[in-house]
Amino acid sequence: MGNFLIAWLSSSAAFSIAFVAFMIFWAGLDGVDPGLKGIARLAGVTIGGALAFQLIYGGLVYLLLTRIGAWRLWAVTLAYLVLWVLAWNSIDTFREAWGMLAWLIFACLVAWVFWFFAK
């Protein structure tokens, strides 16, 4: 259980850092400076959502894959990429497609950090 706790916290932190950095970059492309207060607010909301998501979805992935003996990097990555594939179907603009590439990277990052710490 200790491995899951470490994996839960580290993967949530990895996603939050990557997401906030991406949003600062994305806002910069639009010529917007979010300021420290905006960044802090975004970080707070992001870490809360990441912790909740990883506790529920990450917990289910961990429980299922460890029970069936498939706790491998490719299986964990596939479990997170399934969500990305489902979201890909809702894209309706070219700009959203570029944003989905970032989500692909986020999915792989979270999966790999989660797998590494929960071994």
pTM of the model: 0.78
Measure the CA–CA gap between 22 and 78, rounded to whole angstroms: 23
14 in Cβ contact with 118 (< 8 Å): no
Measure the CA–CA gap between 54 and 114, rounded to whole angstroms: 9
**pLDDT tens, 28-41?**
888 888 899 999 99
**pLDDT tens, 2-24?**
888 888 899 889 888 988 988 89
- Report the pLDDT value the prediction gives residue 39, as an integer from 0 to 100: 93
Q: What percent of the chain has pLDDT over 90?
A: 31
Q: The tokens of 57 are what?
A: 């979805």
